[in-house]
Structure 1
Amino acid sequence: MNMTTLVDVSLTDGQTSAWNGAADTAMLLGTMNSLGHARLAAIEVLSPAVIAQCIKRDENPLQRVDAMRERANGTPLRATVNLLPAHGYLDVLAGETLDTWLRLLAKSGISEVVLIDPLLDLSRLGDAVQKAQANGLTTIAALPYVDDHEHPNAWFAACAERLAQTGAQRIMLRDEAGLLHVDRLPDLLSALRSGVNGKPLDLHTRCHTGLGPQVALEAIRLGVDRLDAALPAVANGASVPSMPLLIRSAPLLELPLQSPDQDRLKEAQTQLAAVADQEGFAESVPWAFDLSPYEHQLPGEIAAQTLHALRERGRLADLFEFSHECTRIRQELGNPPMLQPFASAIARQALEHLDGTPRFATLQPALRRWLQGCYGPIDTSLISVQQRIGAVANPDRPIHRPASDEVLAARICGCPALPPVQKLHYEMRTPEQALTHGLLQRWPDYTVLSVTGPGLSIHLEHSKG
């Protein structure tokens, strides 16, 4: 039986789900130094969510990749590419635009790409696979997992076969909503194996329902080739399973898992936990089992953001009402997949309705573009809304090619211009330094601040005049 290998996604989906993407590039360099020596199958360093986080912080995402490559020690670096961007600058990432982006990723140090088309447009995916391979990238075609009666194992097998025919070197079953369970897994993986024609089969699953670690271990037993996992500081909850947990559990269950260097993983976890402690990032904890994900089917980070929004409103008890509204919106729209760019738009639309806004009085941009036919023909019951917003005359029109790769990359990243390259530096503080830093932040609000203790005396006082 093949040995399952692990891919680390702590720096992308992990910190996005656990910390809402608050960790900047400089904060993660120490962790990357250790991960690069841990003998992992790959390390994911870039995703659409991370790109948006970088742009929001005025960081250059390609500089992030360069910095990670310098510390990777030869470990393959992976990026996730969604062919339907969520930022609104482009509706579809294809053609020369996609080719340029893949070339820039390869030049910066990416060696593997996960290609996601939420609508599973095989023509679009096939073209993306060819372009990625022409740029020297290993291609992983994603097959999104859906949990309903309309998608039996035979449907997944047929999709896997078509994805394999695109020429992709690996196929990934991608369960971003954490809906998989061990009862479904054996027959599903068997069906996928029959379709991929011997190509490696990877799994990405989340822990929304609390079942993620159990699903991951069962997938190892069933011979999945690669599995996404994360360091404990950013695992579980809306994130992926904890890597050390899988490594500890596999030998106990006599499962064929190729273990990375555990000392290096401990170093990486210590460094990441220290950043979390210094910055006040929330501790990652497992979520209790809950059936609501099977209703709303939101991807990890969007589910976490939604729960936070409901808590802020004092309406966490209305989670199932929110989940029902998500389902209702999807059905009325014509069932767009619960992936980006649609998932976050549906969640925000549902929250608006939950807050008492008349239904569809306003419309989230991605849903507007969906109803306007920008992603293809649809069958929707929202005819009056469609008539109100109008149609797009020529949704497939080619975009004007900017004068430079940099301008085109900025458009792909969803901004007018890429942020300039900057010095990346992050300093871990001693407890005394952290205390002083906190006092200095509070000092303007006080006339005098004084702290004393064993071997410690800090006195801050505004001078007169």
Structure 2
Amino acid sequence: MTNVTLIDTTVRDGNQSNWGATGLDTGMMLQIAPVMERVGFESIDFTTSTHMAVAVRFKKEDPWERLRLFREATPNTPLSFLTTGMRFISWEVASEELMEFAFRLVVNNGIRRFAVMDPMNNVPSMLRMADLTRKAGGEQIVAALTFTLSPLHDDAYFADAAGKLAGSGKFEKLYLKDPGGLVTPDRARTLIPALTKVLGNVPLEFHSHCTIGLAPFSYLEAADQGCPCLHTSAGWAAGGTGQPGMKMTISNLRDLGHTVDVDDDAVAEMDAYFTSLPKAEGLTQGQPGEFDRAYFRHQMPGGMMGTMKRQLAETKREHLLPQVLEEVERVRAELGYPIMVTPFSQVVGTQAMLNVIGKERYETVPDEVTRFVLGRFGTPAMPMDKEVEARIRDSKRARELEDEPAMASLDELRAKLGKGLSDEEFLLRATMPGEQVDAMKAAGPARRTYDPKTRPTMDLIRELTGRKGLTSVKIEKDDFKLELKGGA
């Protein structure tokens, strides 16, 4: 039997998959951080550059402050940062100079572990990123090999890539990342042994999603096949399009005879918190999705599926969703079968939607699709459709984008933005709209605590105090009494 450890994904992937990355703020995370420290996680999947941007844009909170405070509250549990290729916050391909600078800052502010993902599973790119993160001070560098389905991506493909990554000596661990929740128990039965055979002494992790209900079963099969580490979430952040629930995964693993060495009281407390919090905040409860075989064809991740549904609803075109998903399959094949993970799920999904609602296919091509075809994100695993590639490459916009100036150097950006900024604020301003950073600065420090029980009372107080003509408010319930009086 296997001794299984856990990586927690609640505050990053659970929050992103089920609550659009906007469900949690700094106070909510800090309130439960000491309990998460007690659980005994191998690591906490904490943030990405995109999540840092969300903190600024939607919460008006400083992501660097959030990272520092959470690190202080969890000193013994490594916090993990997921890379998504050569980009930081902005979708623009970044320079190696900027990436190394950014990684050094996240290390200085509390990140100890890097999960290195390349959206094309390009091994040389992942090796290059491993060097960058190590040079920046990363303690544990983990290769994130992204699962997908295509005529190319069989077990031998993944084993070959895993062998090269492990053989480089640049990674402490490797994790199989399944963003679409497409690894079936049968596939886990062949793929996990194929990976462990070539990994040698490099341990394996498995990360999947409950989008079509397979992940809880595939996790158990992975453990039976010797996978020693699984990624889970707590409370309502689990399920849905997120990871399997921590509490039930632990129970099921132990029922099979596996060992999971965690603090069960802390597990229960954390699970209860991430159940009461979303109830108080009106957030959705993650539930394993019904099995839908169509996902094996379009492979649309949950987050992008939600965005697509919202965009169609806003233009009263919800009825077009089945056509769009069929078009996703066609576009993905024409673009050389990119893996449906950020940013390629957005590239393929957006083009498919435009093809369906437009007068003709590829009548409108977004810049990111053009940049993809021009090779700005690397070379697809399989050849693109020659007619589609030629149509996009020969467009006027493609010629304009080919002449785009290279990203400014750090010195040039410093000169443009001003030299009186801290490194952290400078990086935000170099990769985000300045007015969003201004709003974050004006909002001041984030709150440090949160209690789900106080949410209804605070909502009531805000509602009452916002009414004109009220001179006083008195609230009494059981042993609670609050009285507010206006000035003369």
TM class by shorter-chain length?
Answer: 0.7 to 0.9
Deviations 1:142-196 (A, max 9, x none): 1110123321111111010111133111111110111000111121111111222
Counterpart AA for 1:40: F
Q: Which moved more, 1:104-113 or 1:160-169?
A: 160-169
Query: CA 1:89–1:82 in 2, change beyond 3 Å: closer, same or farther?
Result: closer
| Residues matched between the structures, number | 461
Q: Tell me by how many angstroms 1:452 deviates.
A: 9.8
Q: Tell me by how many angstroms 1:415 deviates.
A: 4.3
**Structure with the largest fraction of helix:** 2
Partner of 1:236: 239
Secondary structure at the counterpart of residue 244 of structure 1: helix
**Matching of residues 239-318 of structure 1 within 5 Å:** 239-254=242-257, 256-309=258-311
Percent of aligned positions with the same letter in both sequences?
A: 23
Query: CA 1:461–1:71 in 2, change beyond 3 Å: closer, same or farther?
Result: closer
**Matching of residues 158-197 of structure 1 within 5 Å:** 158-166=160-168, 167-197=170-200
Query: CA 1:313–1:244 in 2, change beyond 3 Å: closer, same or farther?
Result: farther
Counterpart AA for 1:61: P
Q: Which moved more, 1:434-443 or 1:239-248?
A: 434-443
**Matching of residues 356-375 of structure 1 within 5 Å:** 356=358, 358-375=360-377
**Matching of residues 80-229 of structure 1 within 5 Å:** 80-85=82-87, 88=90, 90-92=92-94, 95-134=96-135, 135-166=137-168, 167-229=170-232
Which structure 2 residue ranges, 5 or more long, are not aligned? none
Give the TM-score taking structure 2 as reference length: 0.84
Q: Tell me by how many angstroms 1:454 deviates.
A: 7.5
Q: Distance in 2 between matches of 1:309 and 1:262?
A: 42
Q: Tell me by how many angstroms 1:114 deviates.
A: 0.4
Deviations 1:244-270 (A, max 9, x none): 01111112221x242321211222222
Query: CA 1:302–1:40 in 2, change beyond 3 Å: closer, same or farther?
Result: same
Secondary structure at the counterpart of residue 363 of structure 1: coil
Do the aligned residues in 2 keep the contact of 1:239 with 1:301 (CA within 8 Å)? no
Do the aligned residues in 2 keep the contact of 1:278 with 1:434 (CA within 8 Å)? no
Query: CA 1:366–1:33 in 2, change beyond 3 Å: closer, same or farther?
Result: farther
Partner of 2:409: 400
Q: Does 1:436 align with 2:460?
A: yes
Partner of 1:324: 326
Q: Distance in 1 between matches of 2:285 and 2:158?
A: 36
Query: CA 1:128–1:84 in 2, change beyond 3 Å: closer, same or farther?
Result: closer
Q: Tell me by how many angstroms 1:304 deviates.
A: 3.5
Q: Does 1:348 align with 2:387?
A: no
Q: Distance in 2 between matches of 1:328 and 1:30?
A: 46
Q: Distance in 1 between matches of 2:34 and 2:87?
A: 30
Q: Tell me by how many angstroms 1:48 deviates.
A: 3.7
Q: Distance in 2 between matches of 1:275 and 1:81?
A: 28
Alignment match of 2:447 (pick from 412, 420, 424): 424
Q: Tell me by how many angstroms 1:371 deviates.
A: 2.2
Do the aligned residues in 2 keep the contact of 1:448 with 1:459 (CA within 8 Å)? no
Q: Which moved more, 1:378-387 or 1:305-314?
A: 305-314
Deviations 1:67-107 (A, max 9, x none): 21011141111111111438545314x52222112211111
Give the TM-score taking structure 1 as reference length: 0.88
Q: Distance in 1 between matches of 2:405 and 2:206?
A: 33
Secondary structure at the counterpart of residue 361 of structure 1: coil
Query: CA 1:360–1:133 in 2, change beyond 3 Å: closer, same or farther?
Result: same
Partner of 1:409: 427
Do the aligned residues in 2 keep the contact of 1:55 with 1:415 (CA within 8 Å)? no
Do the aligned residues in 2 keep the contact of 1:178 with 1:300 (CA within 8 Å)? no
Counterpart AA for 2:51: V
